[in-house]
Amino acid sequence: AQTVTQSQPEMSVQEAETVTLSCTYDTSESDYYLFWYKQPPSRQMILVIRQEAYKQQNATENRFSVNFQKAAKSFSLKISDSQLGDAAMYFCAYRSAAGTYKYIFGTGTRLKVLA
């Protein structure tokens, strides 16, 4: 069975600085998707970025980028120029490319942004 591990329960970053959130996963599958979702205090889950496993190039969305290391089964999220609005819970998620399409979520990392 697939698992997703986020080893950092909480992280802090100074406004305008850069922070990296870690995520590792375990799977025997070769084709899958990885995601980072953000959950602010409103509790609305918001997609931050996604990565297809077959793509070697790391995904980037404005200030958000990932470091996808398939062999190491690592999928970290880098937030550049951190803003107060980035403060939230961040969940890493895995989804098979076939089958039931169930998402497996990590336990989350709470990000605090310090002014």
Positions 4 through 43 that interact with other proteins (CB under 8 A) = 33, 35, 37, 42-43
Binding track, positions 51-90, relative to other proteins; x by CB under 8 A: ----------------------------------------
β-strands 88-96, 74-79 pairing = unpaired
C-alpha distance from residue 83 to each of 6, 15, 28, 42, 95 (Å): 22, 6, 37, 17, 29
User: Residue 18 is encoded by which pair of tokens?
Assistant: 């850069």
Binding site for other proteins (CB under 8 A): 33, 35, 37, 42-47, 50, 91, 93, 95, 97, 100-103, 105-108
